Amino acid sequence: MNFYGVKAIYNFEMSRMRRTLMQSVLSPVISTCLYFVVFGSAIGSRMGDIDNIAYGAYIIPGLVMLSLLMQSISNASFGIYMPKFSGTIYEVLSAPVSYVEVVLGYVGAAATKSVILGLIILATARLFVDYSILHPFWMFSFLVLTAVTFSLFGFIIGIWADGFEKLQIVPMMIVTPLTFLGGTFYSIDMLPEIWQTISLFNPVVYLISGFRWAFYGVSDVHIGISVGMTLLFLGACMAGIWWIFKTGYRLRS
Amino acid sequence: MQPDISVKNLNKVYEGGFQALKNINLEINRGEIFALLGPNGAGKTTMISIICGITNMSSGEVRAAGFDIVKDYRKARETIGLVPQELNTDSFETVWNAVSFSRGLFGKAPNPAHIEKVLKDLSLWDKRNNRIMTLSGGMKRRLMIAKALSHEPRILFLDEPTAGVDVELRRDMWEMVRKLREDEVTIILTTHYIEEAEEMADRIGVIRQGEIILVEDKTQLMSKLGKKELRLQLQNKLEKVPGELLLEPVELSDDGYELIYTFDSQQEQAGVARLLRTLGDIGIDYRDLRTRESSLEEIFVGLVHEPAEG
């Protein structure tokens, strides 16, 4: 195990986050705070409870998950795309590091950043909305698991992308709509039956449902299914990365 | 003695079917400076990229410091430092962080004293806290070398290291390369500046259209393939080469005041004596004579423009 190699990549990526604090942390925190102000405090106070939870508190897990997914993908995809773009990837490819170590460095740093951001958003939410966490251990575990899974997904996007536009396409065109339609602002039980069935094909439903269960003990789908689906997606991302390094797809000609 | 770099039957065919390397066989010894010369697109960078692990080979076997670059890639890569052609840097990082990153990446524990030495040797110490984007092109080139030396490699690849740098920096780099050789670092150099190879290399390899067409000790190469030229400045103008000299490799300059006699470096000097004797016999006087040896550049140009066999 090239421990120093993993540490070098990890520290390099974390230092990039410190350099871009405004963009990496402040910007998503402010965006999420606006949601809390508008939907939590302003409109939320006029909305009815869902599953006996005040609307402002009900949307917190979904909004944290929205930022977590977007930032995990963005951090990891930029992390690996930038060396490809600038040409410095030659150094990683010629170094005595295995692909597992490369992934540990890049994805580890991206997931760390996302978890830190998720915790900051949670702390900030306290300023606007009152909420409780019923299962803190599971809440944190879900946070980490989701951050790692979507950082792996972001890593794949970063390797696949051959331009900045492609880096943005998947988060903006796919992940954001799936998150909005995945129960961030409502329970899928509130939808007509046909849309409930269709919603079950949205993987983000399972993430938000599981995360909300950790907060309030209520969920759209069973917690076991939520964890299982997240692990399934994690496994699919790991398989994708294994294939990328095995074939050298867009890395080694 | 086991070579530091051993390449056997190396082939590279890109996806589109273009064969960049054709059955390359090459051995480079420990502590030597090997210059790989070839025109653009000849396969120099492809070969270096394969040895360093950046590009996959299609077939063949490559060993670095005795380690197979595929099966034992970690040990092989630990021994190699690469200075690529392009100035690829992380613009927002500081010089110190960038060099420390490279050392860590290659599995070496932090060693600020070594980084300091490398930066001082390359006149980058004063810039250690500067962001890379603020450095000049020459400074960036030094930084690339510092990064490659950060993990104390025993094999160093310099892919066009002095492209676009000023004369002073080029001389500094040559000096640095010589110092590295004193430390038994094996250096593989590709360059377009033939004088660079002439100045530094122990052996020369010439690659053309993906094939190594020659590997030779530099001195032997220059003596074997080099040409010598004897120029005689005549007292009186000649209209044409005298008939007595038609069998000799003699040309007349355009103005008719100079006879140019070309001969192989290795050839015995008897031809010169015979020529001078003949000139005396037929009454052609000359007021001056000078000789000149062909440069490595001329040899190189001659080699790469020879038609390929087959």
pLDDT tens digits, A66-112: 999 999 999 999 999 999 999 999 999 999 999 999 999 999 999 99
Mean pLDDT of chain A: 90
- Counting Cα atoms < 13 Å in the Cβ hemisphere of A69 gives 24
Q: Which amino acid is at A87?
A: G
Residue B267 confidence (pLDDT): 61
* Residue in B102, B105, B108 closest to A97 by CB: B105
Q: Is the pLDDT of residue B50 over 80?
A: yes
Residues A236-249: what's their mean pLDDT? 92
- Pairwise CB contact (< 8 Å): B78 & A94: no
Mutate to test the interface with B, among A17, A19, A86, A94 (most CBs of B within 10 A): A94
Q: How many CB atoms lie within 10 A of CB A47?
A: 16
Lowest mean per-residue pLDDT among A67-71, A231-235, B247-251: B247-251
Residue B304 confidence (pLDDT): 67
Residue A78 confidence (pLDDT): 92
Quickly state the pLDDT bin for B310 (edges 50, 70, 90).
very low
SS (H, E, C) A163-190: CHHHHHHHHHHHHHHHHHCCCCCCCHHH
Mean pLDDT of chain B: 88
Lowest mean per-residue pLDDT among A85-89, A242-246, B144-148, B167-171: B167-171
Q: Is the pLDDT of residue B309 over 60?
A: no
Does B18 lie at the interface with A, CB-CB under 8 angstroms?
Answer: no
Please give the structure tokens belonging to residue A216: 């309030």
Q: What is each CA distance from B133 to A164, B87, B139, B140, in whole angstroms?
A: 21, 11, 10, 9
Q: Report the residue of chain A nearest B83, measured CA to CA.
A: A91
Does B261 lie at the interface with A, CB-CB under 8 angstroms?
Answer: no
Q: Is B53 exposed, middle or buried (0-12, 13-18, 19+ CB in 10 A)?
A: buried
Q: Report the residue of chain B nearest A252, measured CA to CA.
A: B55
Q: Which is more confident, B28 or B197? A: B28
Quickly state the pLDDT bin for B158 (edges 50, 70, 90).
very high
pLDDT tens digits, B279-297: 888 889 988 988 877 666 6
Q: What is each CA distance from B88 to A135, A252, B112, B164, B240, in whole angstroms?
A: 48, 17, 23, 14, 58
Q: A251 CA to chain B: closest CA distance, Å?
A: 8
- Pairwise CB contact (< 8 Å): A96 & B74: yes
pLDDT tens digits, A127-142: 888 888 999 999 999 9
- Pairwise CB contact (< 8 Å): A95 & B97: no
Q: Is the pLDDT of residue B71 over 80?
A: yes
pTM of the model: 0.84
- Pairwise CB contact (< 8 Å): B56 & A248: yes
> Which of the 8 DSSP states describes residue B239?
S
* A98 neighbourhood in chain B, CB within 8 Å: 74
Residue B266 confidence (pLDDT): 61
Residues of A with a Cβ under 8 Å from any B Cβ are 2-5, 7-9, 11-12, 15-16, 19, 86-88, 90-98, 248, 252-253
Closest CA to A69 of A184, A225, A215: A184
Interface confidence (ipTM) of the complex: 0.87
* A16 neighbourhood in chain B, CB within 8 Å: 92
Question: Residue B272: in which H helix or E strand, if any?
Answer: helix B270-281
- Pairwise CB contact (< 8 Å): A90 & B82: yes
Q: B173 CA to chain A: closest CA distance, Å?
A: 21
- How many Å apart are CA B88 and CA B192, to the nearest integer? 20
Quickly state the pLDDT bin for B10 (edges 50, 70, 90).
very high
Q: Report the residue of chain B nearest A19, measured CA to CA.
A: B92
Q: Is the pLDDT of residue B303 over 80?
A: no
Domains and CATH numbers, chain B: 5-222 (3.40.50.300), 227-293 (3.30.70)
Residue B199 confidence (pLDDT): 83
